Amino acid sequence: MIGWIVLILAVLVILALVGLGWSTFFGGVKKGIEKIGNLPEVKNLTNKAKSEFDTIIGNSTLNIAAIVQKI
pLDDT tens-digit readout, 3-45: 899 999 898 878 877 887 777 877 887 898 888 888 888 889 8
Note the maximum CA span of the chain. Answer: 75
pLDDT score, position 55 = 84
pTM of structure: 0.43
pLDDT score, position 17 = 77
pLDDT bucket at 69, cuts 50 / 70 / 90: low
- Asked if the model's pLDDT at residue 63 lies above 70, the reply is no
Q: How distant, in Å, are the alpha carbons of 36, 45, 52, 67 from that of 20?
A: 23, 34, 42, 58
CB 24 within 8 A of CB 17: no
